Amino acid sequence: MSTRSRTGLCRLAWLALLAASAAGASPQTESPHPATLAQAFAAAWARQPEALAGASQREAAQQQRRAAERWTVEPPSLELTLRTDRKLGRYEKGQREQELGIAVPLWLPGERQRSQELATAELAAVDSRAAAAAWRLAGSLREAWWGLQRARQNEALAQAREQGAAALARDVQRRVAAGELARSDGHQAEGLLAAARAETALARADAAQAALALRALGVTAQPDMLPEPAPDERAGDTEPDAAHPALRELEDRRLLAERGKALASTQGRANPELTLSTNRERGAFGEDYGRSLSLGLKFPFGNDAGQRAKVAGASAAAIEAEAQLMLERQRLAAELAGARARLNAAELALGAARHRAALAEETRGFIEKSFRLGESDLPTRLRVELEAFEAQRQQALAQLARHQAVSSLRQALGLLPQ
């Protein structure tokens, strides 16, 4: 290739690079009403089974607690008995007996108090299960949210490169037709355009897949780039807070199992029953009715095997919840330390990227001025422009990485999107 051809190709590549830089710097078209991460979380949480059934589950737990506050295990029952010697429509002697009574099931010693404690623990467990489900949803939403932001940024960059490659290919083909460049230069430009188109197609597919992942969580609005605020935390904390939704859920589950074990230990037999009845009877026609009053107390026999099974089951549930709580606390501590380390690294990387972008922009100004004065050649100008464009790209990716690191730290701390 002649020197003139190489110089013309460098000039066209430089022009294409400037076009790509301008396209990369132009803002993307946003939807009229972009959604913040907090709004997206509210929309996604409203579709979750835990949110839809939460009110009913809480009402059930409250009714269970009201039942445990009654003075009797079950509501009293009314008994009515009528006896007579009448057969086939005829009385033999006129014998009749009428009995009316009421039966009241009684609490076993300590059963009422422990039933109330179990109902209170169940009510707390309902709330903590919902909070933990919301926290897990927030983690999935944050991952999909920032994954889509990263995919959109990569798609915008690929489109900018494709536009620059298309502009270069058009100029090269025009010069090839004019005889200023060789046909091999045109083939190289077309190959560069084909590679850029392939990169754009892959980036567009990744963005579409990321958008579908976010849509599957119930978010249909255009995501906003508004970052989450940095959490206000103590720098020396190395353990997750006890109020963390995941720890609260396991702690309430453990407490619920212990309350169930305590209740099962008091239920060694069926509940006793107090009966009070009145009786009215006569032996034959013409006799006066006699009246009597009866007071009875029924004590069922014990059920040792059934009680031991209940106590063993509750003990196993308590041990399992305690072990899960310990493991989850360790896992969350490691996740918290990793999130802090990623945020520190992201802030350092962002500072370095900003410094590099500032230096590259200043160098570009120097070279642009010297190029106008004829002190710099075109390849040097092209290389400096490429470095400035890459520095701006790295700064944008570093800024996005910091936003994601802040969001991950909030997730590790158990905070919902805001």
Mapping DSSP onto H, E and C, the string for 140-174 reads HHHHHHHHHHHHHHHHHHHHHHHHHHHHHHHHHHH
Q: Are 280 and 291 in contact (CB under 8 A)?
A: yes
CA 136 vs CA 131, 156, 233: distances in Å: 9, 31, 21
One-letter amino acid at 16 equals A
Stronger pLDDT, 12 or 351, i.e. the higher one: 351
Ordered by start, the domain boundaries in the chain are 3-23+33-72+107-268+303-412, 73-106+269-301
We find that the CATH architecture of domain 3-23+33-72+107-268+303-412 is: Up-down Bundle (1.20)
Task: Quote the tokens at residue 30.
Answer: 């946003």
Strands 77-87 and 90-105: antiparallel
CA nearest to 118, candidates 310, 326, 322, 328:
310
Task: Quote the tokens at residue 204.
Answer: 């567009």
**pLDDT tens-digit map of 184-236:** 777 877 887 888 889 889 989 998 898 888 888 888 777 776 778 878 765 44
82 pairs with which residues across the strands? 98
Third-level CATH fold of 73-106+269-301: Outer membrane efflux proteins (OEP) (2.20.200)
Inform me whether the pLDDT recorded for 128 exceeds 80: yes
Secondary structure of residue 137 in the 3-state scheme: helix
Q: What is the pTM of this model?
A: 0.75
**pLDDT tens-digit map of 4-23:** 444 444 444 444 444 344 34
One-letter amino acid at 414 equals G
What percentage of residues in the chain have a pLDDT greater than 90?
14
